[in-house]
Amino acid sequence: MTDRKDVFEGDKTFLPGIDIDLPLSIVQTRTCEQYIDCYSKAVKEAADQGDSQTAAVYCFLQIICTFGLSLDTPATPFMPMWSSPAEGKRSLVPSDLTRNDIDAVRILAKQTSDPALRARLHDVLWETGLLSLRRVVLADQRLQLPSYGPTVPVWRSESPALLFPSALSRADQRRA
């Protein structure tokens, strides 16, 4: 097994001080696909100002926003946005992230107030097996996210007894 390089090249201790929603303020359509350009511009601006930590965070979020959704394949909900089989190259997917990257995703997921970005970050945690339904709370509300179709139910409950006994993260499901 080869050691993978961290995708997030910044220092996690700087994450709480960076406004990750700021670059998204100019977007009218709230989808991760629209956020790619916003974060690309923010990376350049931060780098031009000599702020390497902010540039690293925005670059990491830009990469996460490029994870391609595959709604037709529930077993593999993310696919590379691009690939070049002849060269053996492709864009990244959640399984390419390291433990350090996932720790950064966990911090960023708590930090954003943007619903589409928060959903993407939690999807990445789910897909990597670090978010399970035992941590999700049951409620009777629906979240509208254009990139996920008309409605996505959001479940909330303080009682673990209300959760299904088979409530497993994706990694748990693969192991079963």
pLDDT tens for residues 38-85? 999 999 999 999 999 999 999 999 999 999 888 888 778 888 888 888
Answering whether pTM is above 0.75, one says no
How far apart, in whole angstroms, are the C-alpha atoms of residue 42 and residue 62?
10
Give the mean pLDDT per block of 10 residues along the chain (176 residues): 82 95 93 94 98 98 93 83 88 92 95 94 86 41 44 40 40 48
Contact 16, 107 (CB under 8 A): yes
The confidence score (pLDDT) of residue 2 equals: 54
How far apart, in whole angstroms, are the C-alpha atoms of residue 158 and residue 175?
27
Distance of CA 6 to the CA centre of its chain: 15
**How deeply is 51 buried, as exposed, middle or buried, from its count of CB atoms within 10 A (0-12, 13-18, 19+)?**
middle
What residue type is 73 in one-letter code?
Answer: T
CB neighbourhood size of 46 (10 A): 20
For 87, the 3-state DSSP assignment is coil
